[in-house]
Amino acid sequence: MGGDHGCAVTVPAAVSFVNRQQDAELILVGREEAIRAELKKHRALDHPRLSILHAEEVVTMDDPVEVALRRKKDSSMRVAVSLVKDGRAQASVSAGNTGALMAISRYVLKTLPGVDRPAICTLIPNQKDKPTYMLDLGANVDCEPHHLHQFALMGSALVASSEGKAKPSVGLLNIGEEDIKGNEVVKQTAKLLRADHEKGVLNFYGNVEGDDIFKGTTDIVVCDGFVGNVALKASEGLGRFFKAAVTAEFKSNPLNMLGALIARGALKAISRRLNPSRYNGASLLGLRGLVFKSHGGADAYAYEWAIRRAYDAATHDLIARISASIAELMPQAEAQAASADPSVLPAPIQ
Amino acid sequence: MGGDHGCAVTVPAAVSFVNRQQDAELILVGREEAIRAELKKHRALDHPRLSILHAEEVVTMDDPVEVALRRKKDSSMRVAVSLVKDGRAQASVSAGNTGALMAISRYVLKTLPGVDRPAICTLIPNQKDKPTYMLDLGANVDCEPHHLHQFALMGSALVASSEGKAKPSVGLLNIGEEDIKGNEVVKQTAKLLRADHEKGVLNFYGNVEGDDIFKGTTDIVVCDGFVGNVALKASEGLGRFFKAAVTAEFKSNPLNMLGALIARGALKAISRRLNPSRYNGASLLGLRGLVFKSHGGADAYAYEWAIRRAYDAATHDLIARISASIAELMPQAEAQAASADPSVLPAPIQ
């Protein structure tokens, strides 16, 4: 039900995905009537691997976290995440309100042992034609060094399992490469990461700068959620600016239009290479279950990528792999988990 | 002497600029021998409006601020900024170490009345084909709300004078448009800016997000130096990524090459529209003198733009205009300035 377009995007994406992926089953959670209408439109009302689970309420994009969490207990978001908790689904995907999705996921699923705060991790295309994994993207706006430290460990575990890299490299986002640069939180974090590197449990590259995200200098870029969110959205904005400039110039006169026609293969390839849709589907990392967040403005094509990412994570048993990695990297994790009280509500998340 | 290329870039840029701008005089500060050699190369040894002022020392890109400030008292950077202090130059331009330039400028020139911390303000091209003024870009990594508040006032004064806009709009960079979003510093800053807006002394638009920088939603975007630096460098990185992708695809086969040849006008126009060189030359804002910082990696073309910006600011008597605006916006500024002790060394800046 979530995102800017609701069922009009999520339902066709689901139909397309199950048709492409013959062993996938999807449960569409939300207002039955609206979902049925969309399924009908796409001639998939009786699809054997698509089912509907009715949920009366909808978390809106503007709902404060408290409302989503405490008042809308029958929201499609809550019901979908609960399916993961109950083992009835291997993963959950939503294009809805990020803060609400994170709070609900954290409350329903709880965090993994050793994790104080879950983080949002997304993939960004880089010049090496590989993804740069970046976290946090907005779940945590005020981070302490030990939070960033955990993000580095979680990101490392994620890339180790999803990309099959034993020791993926971790860069700490800063405003210079030198150790003396940055604010206090970043300087302290670097010390923690360097200590892990010396112990051989983490492949810490050192400080990276904003442009390194797109250079692909490291597999993972770690930052607090405020900085990560601004950097990501600034990049999205610049991407749209590029696209508008290219479109306008190639349509500016008949000669340019002819050139564009002849080189349409190049223009399509450029568009595909830079298309953020292929990278849609951020992971809510550090939870005891798989939850993926699609961009709110995603179209059906992009939303299908988010479903694909969730499917792949479930197929590769990502949670078990991350748990194992984190347990190895954080030997005290089990002890911490034993003393934590999972019945306490999480603090509100931005 | 500064930047990645030293005299090899700054001298030809200076020669080109004085030839273009018939009423401009430039003093080239640095090692006389190196400057003479470059001038000779460009047949400008006896140019009537180019003079050399020898300075023995050079601040390197890696020099800590303390070394640049306290040990290298005869550096080209220090001598050049001192020319502004002594009234022998109207403005100073450097491609050198940003932290050192800021610390030296602050120590030599002092800040304007009412300004606690100077900020680095640059121009970023936006979709409206106008510049977005963004500050701070890295001078201040840990900001309090009153610092961000001052950045908003300084940026507002700068745009009012340089663009001739009486009430330029100010956006506060955040991770969402809603008031409830963001970290504590940003939330408190929004309150200060809103109060100014209600008093009619500032045109505060509200929160903006990363993509608004390139949409041109507001004339000015205010943020702390860490966030600003990361956003700017991430955008630069994406820009290079984009350029590389376009070049590679248009060269990938003869058909695409033909298309590129036919539409070369479009490709040139795209390159020009997105060329950050045209926007080179950040202003060190809040000082009692004009200092401009070129990108360290600038070529002669880009460096000439930084000189152009300094020339324009001097021609429009920017300092007097900013002082007047700030005095109006901050009625207590004069009182604060009277109690400040200008002999105290500034705190080290990152």
A221 has a chain B CB within 8 A of its CB: no
ipTM for the whole predicted complex goes beyond 0.90: no
Task: Please report where in the chains the tokens 């880089």 appear, as a residue.
Answer: A126
Who among A141, A184, A244 is closest to B175 (CB)? A141
CB contact (8 A) between residue B250 and residue A263? yes
Give me B62's structure tokens. 């890696």
Q: Is residue A345 part of a domain?
A: no
Across chain A, the runs of DSSP E, i.e. the strands, are 26-30, 50-54, 91-94, 119-125, 131-135, 169-173, 203-208, 220-222, 282-285, 290-293
B267–A263 C-beta distance less than 8 A? no
- A315 contacts chain B (CB < 8 A): no
Closest listed residue to residue B52, CA positions, set B73, B78, B68, B33: B33
Distance of CA A302 to the CA centre of its chain: 13
**B330 pLDDT band (50/70/90 cuts)?**
low
Chain B nearest CA to A75, separation (Å): 22
Contact B210 A233 (CB under 8 A): yes
Would you state the pLDDT for residue A114? Answer: 83
H or E element in which residue B34 lies: helix B32-41
Mutation for testing the B interface, residue in A148, A185, A241, A272 having most B CBs under 10 Å: A241
Of residues A125, A184, A237, nearest to B211 (C-beta) = A237
Read off the tokens for A146. Answer: 């030990």
The closest of B65, B11, B95, B116 to B348, measured between CA atoms, is: B65
Say if the Cβ atoms of A238 and B235 lie within 8 Å.
yes
Nearest residue, CB atoms, B266 vs list A126, A241, A250: A250
Please check whether residue A346 lies inside any domain of the structure.
no
Q: Does some domain include residue B138?
A: yes
B232 touching chain A per CB within 8 A: yes
Cβ count within 10 A of residue A192: 19
Query: Does residue A223 sit at the B interface (CB-CB below 8 Å)?
Result: yes
Distance from CA of B247 to the nearest CA of A (A): 10
Question: How sure is the predictor about B331, in pLDDT bands with cuts at 50, 70 and 90?
Answer: low
> What does the pLDDT look like over B12-43, one tens digit per residue?
999 999 999 999 999 999 999 999 999 999 99
Mutation target vs B (from A67, A186, A230; most B CBs, 10 A cutoff)? A230
How far apart, in Å, are the Cα atoms of A5 and each of A19, A33, A303, B38? 22, 16, 11, 61
Please check whether residue A197 lies inside any domain of the structure.
Answer: yes
Structure tokens at B216: 């041109």
Query: B230, A175 in Cβ contact below 8 A?
Result: yes
Q: Would you call B142 and A184 a contact, using CB atoms and an 8 Å cutoff?
A: yes
Residue B296, chain A, CB below 8 Å: the answer is no
Distance CA A152, CA A328 (A): 14
Residue of B nearest to A267 (CA): B249
Angle, helix B225-250 to helix A225-250, in steps of 10 degrees = 40
With H, G, I as helix, E, B as strand and everything else as coil, classify residue B220. strand
| CB atoms A210 and B225 under 8 Å | no
Across the interface, do B250 and A240 touch by the CB < 8 Å criterion? no
Residue B94 lies in a domain: yes
Nearest Cβ partner for B141 among A125, A182, A240: A182
Closest CB to B211: pick one of A175, A236, A264: A236
Nearest CA in chain B to A138: B175
Which residues on chain A are in Cβ contact (under 8 Å) with B175? 138, 141, 225-226, 229-230, 233, 350
H-assigned helices in A91-183: 98-109, 145-162
Test B350 with A180 for CB contact under 8 angstroms: yes
**Parts of chain A with a pLDDT under 70:** 179-180, 329-350
Q: Which of A180, A213, A230 is facing B175, going by the closest CB pair? A: A230
pLDDT at residue A343, rounded to an integer: 39
Q: Closest by alpha carbon to B258, among A249, A246, A255? A: A255
d(CA B89, CA B91): 6
Would you call B234 and A231 a contact, using CB atoms and an 8 Å cutoff? yes
pLDDT tens-place string over residues B230-272? 999 999 888 888 888 888 888 888 888 888 888 888 888 888 7
- Minimum mean pLDDT among A153-167, B141-155, B322-336: which range? B322-336
Q: Long-range contacts made by residues A189-192, C-beta under 8 angstroms, separation at least 24?
A: A189/A145, A189/A148, A189/A149, A189/A152, A189/A222, A191/A145, A192/A145, A192/A146, A192/A148, A192/A149
| CA A237 centroid distance within chain | 18
Residue B161: both structure tokens together: 């004078």
Q: Which 8-state DSSP code applies to residue A70? A: I
Q: What is the pLDDT of residues A278-322, one digit of tens each?
A: 888 999 999 999 999 998 989 999 999 999 999 988 988 888 877
We report the CATH number of the domain holding residue A256 as: 3.40.718.10
Q: What pLDDT, on a 0 to 100 scale, did the predictor assign at position A342? A: 40
Q: Is A260 on the interface with B (CB under 8 A)?
A: yes
The answer to whether the CB of A171 falls within 8 A of the CB of A221 is yes
Give the β-pairing of A91-94 and B119-125: unpaired
Q: pLDDT tens digit string along B66-112?
A: 899 999 999 999 999 999 999 999 999 999 998 899 999 999 999 99
pLDDT single digits (tens) B264-314: 888 888 887 777 778 889 999 999 999 999 989 899 999 999 999 999 889
**Angle at CA of residue A93, ends A90 and A94, nearest 5°:** 155
- What local confidence, expressed as pLDDT, does residue A177 receive? 73
- A349 lies in some domain: no
Structural domain harbouring A172:
7-339
Q: What is the pLDDT of residue B333?
A: 44
The partner residue sitting opposite A237, judged by closest CB among B213, B258, B264, is: B213
Q: How far apart are CA B318 and CA B316, in angstroms?
A: 5
CB-based contact A232:B238 (threshold 8 Å): no
* Confidence (pLDDT) at A165: 87
Q: Is residue B349 part of a domain?
A: no
- Please indicate, yes or no, if residue B345 is contained in any of the structural domains: no
Q: Does A62 touch chain B (CB under 8 A)?
A: yes
The shortest CB-CB distance from A249 to any of B213, B259, B266 is to B266
Distance to chain B for A225, nearest Cα, Å: 9
Interface contacts (A, B; CB < 8 Å) = 209
Domain count, chain A: 1
The shortest CB-CB distance from A142 to any of B184, B238, B242 is to B184
B308 token code pair: 């152009």
Q: How many angstroms separate the CA atoms of A93 and B132, rounded?
A: 36
